[in-house]
């Protein structure tokens, strides 16, 4: 099941790493070891970058139709191995089996299907007068992906980069390596030329930094914490490479007085807890009118208390553990800070849920009467912890929503379309969801402020892996002859 866990994919072959480090992968549901994976070093980065650099001149000149054919083959292989990939994500990061199949694996498929559609119609060249505007592959890309949505974040970078004609070195998180290794095997099996896609593991401050500093990498794309994004940007600065960052969030969910509170609050709780709260765009700050705080508290507490937490392989479980001990302990500290700073705990709290003595399980937690200055209202918790804040009027709600270093997503619940549109325009975020609008793989994904820069998904993600070249006089000789 875990083939190639001690190898890296470099120049089309699974090879032994130069680095001798190992990372023990722990099952977060049981705290038992799963396996060891190889951890690389700067020498492995050099080898992978050299392979990508050598492959770039040829691959970047392939026709879009050929790249689309290769991606269609990759989609076929992905679908054939869909259940295996889903099961790997349940094992390595603790998402429930049903969620892994319905969401974690599904988003990988959705992004593949979307970029294949985009590639069928995307105009890489256009003639404006006598000037050819050409959109060309940015070059060798370093791609760093996180553990919380292993397939989503891997596919959403790798696939548009492949579609653009880029070559790449990929470093997924060591906390979700199994599905990433399997996906890498499928990329290789799909027939992409050797060196186009290279896969290595390693710690961020070792391998990630070596990638960011490497003079032969033209672009870095990272999804992770704001701290990690800053580190990549600083290390990349000396070589003036493009840096694309999809970072943290502390998204506000504004519930207006006319909303159906029973439905809107309950939906907001489940939205906050999606993927056990380990989602950068999760609506973790619920904003309600001051006078309806107690009503919202009652609904949210009832909703949270009904969530079944348990082994992710148990069909009855709605929520599994968080990914690792470090994350569990951080969430516990933040829950304790909410209590200490005076927020009102109405559901959940410190410790594991009743009956669970092992595993990194967190109680679905709700705080009410939270003020904007509290730690739980300002820091990205990345766990099933909801903060409910009060507001006095619409302008106050907008002010509180924007009072954060982050700017990834915003949510609005109302029956008043004019109010929803008015508020949406004022939110300093990259994405707004009105009344829990459906997620769309073709819609741009990314944020303002310290949530990062650049956009992912569909044509917008493809564009971020392209440079624009203007060729004057392109058509003049043809016309003259």
Report pLDDT digits (tens) over 399-428.
999 999 999 999 999 999 999 999 999 999
pTM of this structure: 0.96
Q: Given this model, what pLDDT does residue 180 score?
A: 97
As a whole number, mean pLDDT of residues 309-323 equals 97
Q: What is the mean pLDDT of residues 6-34?
A: 97
Judge whether residue 1 has pLDDT over 70.
no
* Mean pLDDT calculated for residue range 47-62: 98
Radius of gyration of the chain, Cα coordinates, nearest whole angstrom: 23
For the chain, the residue count is 481
Mean pLDDT of 115-126: 97
Judge whether residue 179 has pLDDT over 80. yes
Query: Which pLDDT value is given to residue 31?
Result: 98
Confidence (pLDDT) at 3: 81
Average pLDDT (65-71) is 98
Average pLDDT in the 195-207 region? 97
Residue 481, pLDDT score: 60
Residue that has been written with the tokens 């672009």 in this structure? 219
Q: Which residues are catalytic?
A: 246, 280
Residue 476: the pLDDT is 75
Q: What is the pLDDT of residue 480?
A: 65
Contact by Cβ (8 Å): 284, 277: yes
Across 330-340, average pLDDT: 98
**What is the overall mean pLDDT for the chain?**
97
pLDDT at 477: 67
User: In the prediction, which pLDDT does 475 show?
Assistant: 79
Edge-to-edge strands, sheet with 131-137 = 125-128, 131-137, 466-472
Mean pLDDT across the stretch 112-117? 98
Write down all domains in the chain, each with its CATH number in brackets.
8-247+451-471 (3.40.605.10), 252-434 (3.40.309.10)
Residue 13, token pair as written in the block: 């072959």
Instruction: Tell me the average pLDDT across 132-147.
Output: 98
For 348, list phi and psi in degrees, rounded to 5. Answer: 70, -140
Q: Which long-range contacts (CB under 8 A, 24 or more apart) does 55-58 make?
A: 55/11, 55/167, 55/193, 55/194, 55/195, 55/196, 56/137, 56/139, 56/140, 56/166, 56/167, 58/193
Query: For 437-446, what is each residue's pLDDT tens digit?
Result: 999 999 999 9
Percentage of the chain surpassing pLDDT 70? 99
What is the reported pLDDT for 2?
A: 74
């Amino acid at each position: 099941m875990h083939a190639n866990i001690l190898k890296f994919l470099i120049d089309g072959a699974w090879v032994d790493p130069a680095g001798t480090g190992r990372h023990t992968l722990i099952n977060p549901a049981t705290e038992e070891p799963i396996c060891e994976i190889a951890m690389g070093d700067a020498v492995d980065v050099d080898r992978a970058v050299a392979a990508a650099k050598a492959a770039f001149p040829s691959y970047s000149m392939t026709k879009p139709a050929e790249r689309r054919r290769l991606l269609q083959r990759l989609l076929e292989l992905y679908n054939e191995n869909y259940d295996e990939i889903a099961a790997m994500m349940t094992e390595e990061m603790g998402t429930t089996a049903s969620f892994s199949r319905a969401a974690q694996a599904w988003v990988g498929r959705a992004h593949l299907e979307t970029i294949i559609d985009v590639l069928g119609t995307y105009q890489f060249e256009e003639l404006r007068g006598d000037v050819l505007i050409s959109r060309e592959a940015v070059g060798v890309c370093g791609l760093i992906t996180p553990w919380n949505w292993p397939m989503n974040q891997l596919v959403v970078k790798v696939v548009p980069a492949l579609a653009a004609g880029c070559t790449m070195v990929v470093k997924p998180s060591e906390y979700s390596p199994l599905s990433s290794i399997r996906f890498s095997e499928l990329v290789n099996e799909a027939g992409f030329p050797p060196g186009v896609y290279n896969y290595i593991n390693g710690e961020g401050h070792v391998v990630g930094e070596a990638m960011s500093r490497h003079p032969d990498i033209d672009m870095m794309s990272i999804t992770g914490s704001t701290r990690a994004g800053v580190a990549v940007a600083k290390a990349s600065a000396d070589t003036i490479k493009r840096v694309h960052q999809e970072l943290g969030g502390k998204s506000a969910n504004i519930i207006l007085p006319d909303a159906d509170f029973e439905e809107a609050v309950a939906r907001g709780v489940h939205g906050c807890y999606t993927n056990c709260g380990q989602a950068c765009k999760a609506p973790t700050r619920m904003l309600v009118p001051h006078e309806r705080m107690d009503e919202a508290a009652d609904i949210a507490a009832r909703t949270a208390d009904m969530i079944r937490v348990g082994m992710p392989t148990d069909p009855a479980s709605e929520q599994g553990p968080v990914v690792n001990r470090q994350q569990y302990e951080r969430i516990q500290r933040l829950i304790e800070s909410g209590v200490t700073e005076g927020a009102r705990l109405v559901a959940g709290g410190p410790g594991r849920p009743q009956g669970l003595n092992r595993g990194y399980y967190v109680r679905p937690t709700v705080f009410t009467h939270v003020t904007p200055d509290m730690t739980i209202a300002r820091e990205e918790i990345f766990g099933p912890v909801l903060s409910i804040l009060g507001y006095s009027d619409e302008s106050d709600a907008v002010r509180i929503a924007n009072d954060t270093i982050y700017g990834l997503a915003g949510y609005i619940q109302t029956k008043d379309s004019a109010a929803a549109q008015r508020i949406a325009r004022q939110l300093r975020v990259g994405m707004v969801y009105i009344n829990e609008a459906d997620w769309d793989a073709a819609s741009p994904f990314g944020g303002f402020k310290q949530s990062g820069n650049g956009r992912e998904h569909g044509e917008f993600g493809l564009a971020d892996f392209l440079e624009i070249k203007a060729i004057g006089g392109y058509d003049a000789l043809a016309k003259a002859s």
